[in-house]
Amino acid sequence: MHPIGTVHYLALSTALLLIGTVGVLTRRNIVIILMSIELILNAVNINLIVFSHALHSVSGQVFAIFVITDAVAEAAVGLGILIALFRNKETVLADEIDLLKW
């Protein structure tokens, strides 16, 4: 049996990045778009930690913690904006929200 190596983690990260990108580009529901952005950020975290482990450095893990902190802030602000828009427009579809237009 072969051990799990760097290539396996990079393949997982690539799959997460692809799924997240397709989700952001094709979905209309804002909740799904936010979840897809979280998938993309998780792919970045996997890359940071794998390369940190491969290079025997802690800097990638520190950056991963910053990315996680940024993802939490993005989720909180995004869901707050989503709740406010839903109360005003009663929809969560990105195509139907034109509140910022003149």
pLDDT at 102 over 70: no
Average pLDDT score, the chain: 91
pLDDT one-digit tens code per residue, 29-46: 989 999 999 999 999 999
pLDDT one-digit tens code per residue, 13-33: 999 999 999 999 999 898 999
Structure tokens at 95: 């195509």
CATH number of the domain enclosing 63:
1.10.287.3510
* Residue 84 belongs to some domain of the structure: yes
Number of domains the chain contains = 1
What is the domain range of residue 44? 28-93
pLDDT at 98 over 90: no
* Residue 47 belongs to some domain of the structure: yes
pTM for the whole thing?
Answer: 0.87
Query: Using alpha carbons only, how large is the chain's radius of gyration in Å?
Result: 17
Confidence band, pLDDT 50/70/90 cuts, at residue 101: low
